Structure 1
Amino acid sequence: MLETERLIFRSYSSDDLHLLLEMTSNPDIMKFIRHGNPWTKEEAIESLNRYIGWNNEGIGLYLAFNKQNSKLVGHSGLIPQIIEDINELEVGYWVVKDEWGKGYGLEQAKAWKEYGLMDLEHPRLISLIQNGNIGSIKVAEKNGMKHEKDIELLGKRVAVYSICIT
């Protein structure tokens, strides 16, 4: 599985509901995710099942742990998206609040960008960033992505950042 200097990633399993709930119950983490509110247990279970299915296909979100202390840092990966009737692959990343400001968002995003472009040989990757999420905009830009356009997605104004290899 994928690793960085400080992080190790692993697939989700059915035993990881508590880890997902730890992240999705925090209003600060969820402010710019989906509807902008903490998830219900049912939403977390539905998402966990989707993540497990994606992981079985070699894509989707993976848990990220600190290599030194095995502490949960967040999750990230390559998320299948359909944007304006086009199949896209999104570099997505979350960081648990206790780990904000330590560079883990960019570290995760860079690892998945390199994996998607180089290992999977996917010619284009995107990041979808809700209006006002300044931290994620900075991560996308530092990760070599450029603002392409703004779209409406699930009733929210979302910026599409992208990177292509030609």
Structure 2
Amino acid sequence: MKTARLEFRKYQDEDFDFLCSLLSDPEVVRFIGNGQTRSREGALEFLYWIYRSYRENPELGLRLLIRSEDDVPIGHAGLVKQTIEGREELEIGYWIAKDYWGQGYAAEAAAALRDYGTEQLGNKRLISLIQPGNLGSRKVAERTGLALEKEIRLSGKDVCVYALETTTIEETQEEQDVKQTRL
């Protein structure tokens, strides 16, 4: 997958140092999970989790974000399965390295994932899980067309559930046919 400025590609072993840099930066992980940095051992466990997600469903999982102009990794983003209140959901997730914040990369990646999830994978619903204090990510979700649906408690943290619900052309046509019938 590509956008105007980004390439998405699967993680490889040689990306480990970059992943460590993301996971060891307190500002980057402040609103991710429990907000704690990870050691190299913890980063390796996270990389193995990413690899497992690829094996379970090759179309999903976090992808390394590479800036097209110079092949520099700037973060990662992807569609990730989540279980929220007993319901399986597909989350648009994105982390950008601090040096690249404020340049629109998260919004660009999230929009591409939204389109991929709805148009290529046929999902009618996508979510983003964002801690309330993460105003930047909340703005990205809103710019991407997701709306605040509810706030929940997840793994001991307050989390905002942003959601996008789409309808297919067929459903829209069926709704129009029903309305015509009623008239």
Q: What TM-score comes out, normalization by structure 2 length? A: 0.88
Once the two structures are superposed, what CA deviation does each residue of 1:74-111 show, in whole Å capped at 9, x if it has no partner? 00000110000100000000111110110001001000
Aligned to 1:161: 162
Aligned to 1:102: 103
For 1:18, the aligned partner's letter is D
Aligned length in residues: 165
Q: Distance in 2 between matches of 1:24 and 1:52?
A: 16
Q: Does 1:42 align with 2:41?
A: yes
Once the two structures are superposed, what CA deviation does each residue of 1:5-30 show, in whole Å capped at 9, x if it has no partner? 00001101233221110111111101
Where in structure 2 are the equivalents of 1:58-69 lying within 5 Å? 58-69=59-70
Aligned to 2:9: 10
Q: What TM-score comes out, normalization by structure 1 length? A: 0.96
Please, which runs of 5 or more residues in structure 1 have no aligned partner? none
Contact 1:147 1:162 in 2 (8 A): yes
Q: Does 1:136 align with 2:137?
A: yes
What is the DSSP-based 3-state SS (H/G/I as helix, E as strand, rest coil) of the residue aligned with 1:69?
coil
> How far off is 1:53 after superposition?
2.0
Aligned to 1:78: 79
> How far off is 1:138 after superposition?
0.2
> How far off is 1:42 after superposition?
2.3
Contact 1:12 1:55 in 2 (8 A): no
The Cα RMSD (Å) is 0.9
Greater fraction helix: 2
What is the DSSP-based 3-state SS (H/G/I as helix, E as strand, rest coil) of the residue aligned with 1:33?
coil
Structure of larger gyration radius: 2
State the identity %.
43
Q: Distance in 2 between matches of 1:55 and 1:7?
A: 20
Please, which runs of 5 or more residues in structure 2 have no aligned partner? 168-183
Q: Judge which range, 112-121 or 56-65, deviates more.
A: 56-65
Q: Distance in 2 between matches of 1:21 and 1:113?
A: 27
